[in-house]
A and B are shown apart, each in its own frame.
Chain A
Amino acid sequence: MIGLTPEQISEELKGYSARLTEGMQTLRRVGEIEAGVSPRDPVYREDKLVLYRYQPQVAKPHPIPLLIVYALVNRPYMMDIQEDRSMIRGLLAAGIDVYLIDWGYPDAGDRNLTLADYIHRYISHCVDFLRERNQQDTINLLGVCQGGALSLCFTSLYPEKIRNLVTMVTPIDFHTPDNLLTHLIRYVNVDLLVDSFGNVPGSFLNFAFLSLSPFRLAGQKYVDLVDILDDATALKNFLRMEKWIFDSPDQAGAAFRQFAKDFFQQNKLIRGEVVIGERRVDLAAIVMPVLNVYATQDHLVPPAASKVLKDLCRSRDYSELSFRGGHIGIYVSARAQREIPPAIAAWLISR
């Protein structure tokens, strides 16, 4: 058909079946997939939180530590997923002293954790720990995606503790017309969800992400996988990403309730109406240097959702770094490794 003959189709199907049969053997032999490759040491623990310091790769790292605050959804090893795809490795190579908060996996005992717990307690304690450990009044903060929103809240509440703020693919205006996640959650009864489960199951969030592009993410991707089943390296890379995609922690119920309602459904962050504990978040309190990193083809956090920060904060040293790619590619693509960590490191070191 249009150049395809039945014989050609038949041959292609035979070849595909053969690759599938052989490849399944390879897949069963591939063994444990590890993710998170850079050596690191736990330096602080609180409840399920572990604060890690990545072992510096230069003799004398930059004196101001960088604290990475990752999202509560998904796991932070995306930042260090394999040797040639590691934003953390790039930052270390550029001389940055990198710390990262691992939130762990909330369980039933964490259902009442609020955003106030995450911001006033967990992030705040990590920041204070690093200030004391490094004998610095201020540290650098890098927030990723939802972690960026949490970092903005923290920084607006405690501006005196943050020297420079970097936000990566961070949603700020949740009601831009192209925000699909807001679109999907708009009519969800969040109270019913949280009241039904206590913690919100990670599998629900996974469904939401996959349902944005099901024919590619749940179909075509696996059809194409058969083509690389005989390539052990490519297969392991694929499986590493799969591990990350489906490694979705449950969300602490109370924190999810507030984030879904106040940020997604009611878009309070841009109006200065988010209240954490008893304190109102005013992004205008952010006056330190800000680097806002976004991805031009991000389908989860559209650029417009991030770029609004420029108008809301009062930093006189506000910069943007645009990456031509998507929400995941900004961490793991080969080009991202060349472009993003060196740019962030240079920006930090010069301030």
Chain B
Amino acid sequence: MADQTQTVDSPKPLDTQFIIDQARGYLAFGEQIAAMGQQLQGSAATGADWGTMLRENFAQFKTAILQSADDPNVNPELARLWNQTLDLWQQTATSLGFVAPADGGGDAWQAYRGVQNQYFDMLRNAAKGALDLMEKQLSERAATGQMIGSLRELYNLWVDCNEKTYGQMLRGSAYAELSGRLFNSLLACSPKRENTP
């Protein structure tokens, strides 16, 4: 008998909440940009030059993004936007049963948390670099009169900048070493190993 469609175990359906979360991140990004746009408009009315205006107002935008990086509770939607890799990692670890013990865990968990913090710092540095790159590219566009036609275009530029700085980090030997340690330190927390005499 012909088997026309796949008779595979059904994978997880697309998580609509995940889509909503990503969309909320984009909306949070848009709100920050809208606030910056208003400030720029106000500055323009005073006759300040464009480069100065952009630097001053982009600094505020950058601060908002970085605050969400330092403390995701400040603006969880904004934090989610740039924190993709760590979120993915934590979701993966949780799905495999690696849940941090309420009492903080033993030595293995403490070691893992230390490595995860280092990993987080590395990701945050790449994200900071992306904001610097974005500011530079916006300045260059402003200098040549190139227009950003939509919020989405600006978001896409932000994504491009993040992919670029993240990609540079990813290709470095320090990232390979640290992500390997992250992996290995998590594995060392598995119950099976902790029970091994």
Contact = CB atoms under 8 A, between A and B. Distances in A.
A16 interface: yes
A215 B170 CA distance: 13
A241 B162 CA distance: 24
B4 A12 contact: no
Say whether chain B's binding surface is mostly helix, strand, loop, or mixed: helix
Contact of B148 (A2, A16, A195, A246): A2
A328 to B, nearest CB: 17
A193 B186 CA distance: 10
B8, B9, B16, B146: most-surrounded residue (chain A CB, <10 A): B8
Contacts of A275: none
Nearest to A11: B151
Task: Report which residue of A5, A24, A55, A196 has the largest number of chain B beta carbons within 10 angstroms of its beta carbon.
Answer: A196
A176 interface: no
A24 B38 contact: no
A239 B155 CA distance: 23
A216 B192 CA distance: 36
Contacts of A222: 18-19, 22-23
Interface stretch (A37-45, A138-146, A157-165): A37-45
Given A38-B4, A189-B187, A218 B84 contact: yes
B138 A2 contact: yes
A105 interface: yes
A215 B3 contact: no
A242 interface: yes
A77 interface: yes
A212 B88 CA distance: 12
A300 to B, nearest CB: 13
A4 to B, nearest CB: 6
A231 to B, nearest CB: 15
A28 interface: yes
A75 B184 contact: no
B24 to A, nearest CB: 9
A3 B30 contact: no
Contacts of A246: 11-12
Per DSSP, chain A at the interface is helix
Contacts of A12: 30, 150-152
Q: Chain A interface residue count: which class?
A: 35 or more
A40 B152 CA distance: 44
B179 interface: yes
A212 B170 contact: yes
A61 B177 CA distance: 52
Nearest to B38: A6
Interface in A146-164: none
Interface stretch (A167-175, A200-208, A287-295, A315-323): A200-208
A196 B180 contact: no
A248 B96 CA distance: 14
B157 to A, nearest CB: 10
Interface string A120-151: 00000000000000000000000000000000
A124 to B, nearest CB: 24
A206 B166 contact: no
B2 A9 contact: no
* Top 10 A-B pairs, shortest CB-CB distance: A187-B180, A3-B147, A36-B6, A222-B22, A214-B84, A247-B11, A6-B37, A39-B2, A9-B34, A2-B148
Given A1-B37, A196-B190, 11 more contacts: A1-B33, A3-B147, A3-B149, A28-B16, A34-B5, A39-B4, A187-B183, A195-B193, A219-B22, A223-B22, A226-B23
